[in-house]
Structure 1
Amino acid sequence: MTRPVTRPVTGLEAQIHVPDRLDATITAPPGSVVAVIGPNGAGKTTLLRALAGLVEMTGHVTVDTESWTDPPRLVRERHLGFVFQDRSLFPHLTALANVAFGLQSRRTPRRAAEQVAQGWLDRFAIGHLAKRLPGELSGGQAQRVAIARALASDPQLLLLDEPFAGLDVGVATGLRIELARHLADYRGVTLLVTHDAIDALTLADRVLVVDEGRVAQSGSPQEVAARPLTEHVARLVGLNVIRDGEGEGEGEGQTYRSFTPSSVTVSVHRPEGSARHQWHGPIASVAPHGDAVRLLVATQEPTRQELLADVTPGAATELGLTPGREVWLSVKETAVQTYAADRPR
């Protein structure tokens, strides 16, 4: 497959401030894949759009030691690939023309651009759909075209905003495998916004947690999964996390405690055992979870927060565990992992 001329890559350094929306610093070495996770409205998409030059910001963005912000570069002058949540394919262009568009906009001759584009469509197993318009493609096929378009120009920075959202599980799994195969050889920097822990654990070598417009945590997927500092991350990896000194905010030296839903004992009366940690509140939701039934309990005391607990189907029936039922949760100290927060890197 013919590919564009390549360049040395030295990574990404950025400090971004978008008033009332985002205040974040990020560094990433060449070849790295950074999963950006956090709750809705946390600032994840704003981060990607700021890097692309699509929103006004202060600060700086440097890629391969070249500043994209001093002086400011237009979007088309930033050598990046962007997969938007809505794909944003040109509806009047064929799949082949969509993928070739970025190359041609950088003055690659049409025939050469189309040759590269066809190679990328073949790589994502949709080469036979090259002449179809976006409206004639399935969701999975259109997403493959969008990813191929972002990769075709060999960008210095690859931005992926929920690339598997809205796809069937089987389609998303296949596309995830194909993307992972490419990222293993990609020398640029990738930022992947996702709500799926699978993406963070299988595609990324680093995780950046964004919460309320700030970086709340960063580290390897294993580090973040083992010691989550936000409730959102804890939910993603199937843990409960509580913070000592509720309401003090994130900060270095603060103590966190995490435990699994399966280690939680649920009862309808206040427990009298040796469990050191106890909470009380109504059940917010009940849902199947593998062989168990997972409860989400909105605890009121001693702290106000939501905790997960797994019980057997038999116990759920016997105790009448339905939404609104008041329950007690308890966890033994031996089941709790305690750790301090590190300053985000």
Structure 2
Amino acid sequence: MTLAARLAIPGRLDVEVDAEPGDVIALVGPNGAGKSSFVHALAGLQHAEGSALLGGRDLLALAPQEREVGVVFQDQRLFPHLSALDNVAFGPRSRGEPKHSARAAARTWLERLGVAELADRKPAQLSGGQAQRVAIARALVTDPDLLLLDEPFTGLDVGVAATLRIELGKHLADFRGITLLVTHDALDALTLATTVVVLDSGRVAQVGTPAEVAAQPLTEHVARLVGLNVLRDGDRLRAFSPAAVTVSRHAPADSARNRWHGVVRGAAPHGDAIRLQVTGERDLIADVTPAASRELALVPGQEVWLSVKETAVTTYDARADAASD
């Protein structure tokens, strides 16, 4: 069952997405790019113009409850008065399935997601990770043709999110439908998705496999997500790793083209390094050793010079159509 969605919200969104069974499409982009608006329109929670053909049926012509769509939100949106079991059973029951079989299917999915022992608990008695597992079970129990995941790991503890990401990945690998995943996390896109669609200002800026998009990001937002610096030079983009950046307190003695003056705005551990956020002539990120950070007193507010060797810079075409050639 294929998806051919052409959705528009005047002044906000004009996006086309095509998908095949088994595809996991990650929608990435800055806040306000249209990611959530797109999936909410598919779910029937947001009005949009155009069409969304799922297996030949236009979802936009159907009421939300008539669409074969499962939805998981970042805030779970579980029914507070129902137990975890009955939250999951709600979908089959609303489709006319008998209570006994609906609850049996719900229990099976709770077991698959590792929370069967919590079946009798109300949402208020669940942790964030437990509630999100219940929400995912509720979305999958009806065997939807389209699964919409709107930032499902946001707000969860890092360890909980990592475990849930692995569990979800296992289920998506066997999922026969199509999945659209809205995320701000490069790890989600790189580990769960088969295709990445980059949205910017309500339009598609780039489409490719996770590896292709990570190697040659066409927007600064995605470049930051995957940990690269990207500079636009006409119709060309120039990318380089934060590890390739040299940081000093004074202007480099040579006349190298790739040097910029700026101010440290943030510094945080990143693996074995300290990652600096620097604003100025260019907004850049640079990785330095903890020893260098102490020696140079690289604290917020400190003026610095950044430089990078030309041999460390990769140059490629800035056009989205060229990246997919």
User: Contact conserved, 1:83 with 1:163, CA < 8 A, in 2?
Assistant: yes
Between the aligned partners of 2:293 and 2:20, the Cα distance in structure 1 is 49
Aligned residue for 1:174? 163
Aligned residue for 1:162? 151
Aligned residue for 2:10? 19
Question: Which secondary structure does the structure 2 equivalent of 1:98 belong to?
Answer: helix
Between the aligned partners of 1:53 and 1:43, the Cα distance in structure 2 is 15
Aligned residue for 2:188? 199
Match of 1:209 among 182, 198, 202: 198
Between the aligned partners of 2:73 and 2:10, the Cα distance in structure 1 is 22
Match of 1:324 among 297, 301, 307: 301
User: Contact conserved, 2:218 with 2:319, CA < 8 A, in 1?
Assistant: no
Question: Which secondary structure does the structure 1 equivalent of 2:21 belong to?
Answer: coil
User: Contact conserved, 1:200 with 1:221, CA < 8 A, in 2?
Assistant: yes
Between the aligned partners of 1:170 and 1:96, the Cα distance in structure 2 is 25
* Structure 1 residues 111-260: aligned runs within 5 Å: 111-245=100-234, 254-260=235-241
1:39 aligns with 2:30: yes
Q: Percent identity between the aligned chains?
A: 60
Q: Give the partner amino acid of 2:271.
A: G
The worse-fitting range, judged by mean Cα deviation, of 335-344 and 224-233 is 335-344
Aligned residue for 1:98? 87
Q: Give the partner amino acid of 1:202.
A: T
What is the CA-CA distance between 1:274 and the residue it aligns to? 6.4
Aligned residue for 1:30? 21
Give the alignment's Cα RMSD to 1 decimal: 1.4
1:280 aligns with 2:261: yes
Aligned residue for 1:311? 288
Aligned residue for 1:86? 75
Q: Give the partner amino acid of 1:289.
A: H
User: CA deviation digits over 1:86-143, x for unaligned, max 9?
Assistant: 1110011111111111111111121111111110011111111111111111111111
Question: Which secondary structure does the structure 2 equivalent of 1:46 belong to?
Answer: helix
Structure 2 unaligned regions, length at least 5 = none
User: Contact conserved, 1:277 with 1:331, CA < 8 A, in 2?
Assistant: yes
Which has more helix, going by share of residues? Answer: 2
User: Contact conserved, 1:274 with 1:332, CA < 8 A, in 2?
Assistant: no
User: CA deviation digits over 1:243-279, x for unaligned, max 9?
Assistant: 113xxxxxxxx21110000101112222123633111
What is the CA-CA distance between 1:20 and the residue it aligns to? 2.5
Between the aligned partners of 2:149 and 2:59, the Cα distance in structure 1 is 19
Structure 1 unaligned regions, length at least 5 = 1-9, 246-253
Q: TM-score, normalised by structure 2?
A: 0.95
User: Contact conserved, 2:87 with 2:138, CA < 8 A, in 1?
Assistant: yes
Aligned residue for 1:340? 317
